[in-house]
Amino acid sequence: MEIWINPACSKCRSALTLLDAEGAGYTVRRYLDDVPSQDEIRSVLERLGLEPWDITRTQEAAAKELGLKDWPREEGARDRWIAALAEHPELIQRPIITADDGSAVVGRTEEAVREALSRSRS
């Protein structure tokens, strides 16, 4: 299991605390320092079953500078969104947990983190 975190994020710290309390084995990826490639973002999106705009933090300064709220949310614009996430990783929603069964969750709630745990233990 891998978890993409920003150490300054309270949701990320809560997810790590829960994983530790459950004795889960995981790898931490500080995705602002170890920026995911476009292909890695595509892979995680597939595992999440989401589109890039679904995991974009649209209130960040970079999102406003890019004018993301006006970007089309359709298949033809998908690569543009993915490129923006790779170029501006602070726009990626966090934490993202990839489970051992090939799925992934955005672990912003205790329930989502527990779901990733259950998928990694099955």
Q: Which of 2, 9, 57, 90 is catalytic?
A: 9
Burial class (CB in 10 A: 0-12, 13-18, 19+), 91: buried
12 catalytic residue (yes or no): no
Question: Which amino acid, 38?
Answer: Q
Terminal alpha carbon distance of the chain: 13
DSSP for residue 122: -
- What residue type is assigned to position 92 of the chain? I
Which tokens belong to 75?
């298949």
CA dihedral for 58, 5, 98, 87, sign (positive or negative): positive
Active site residues: 9
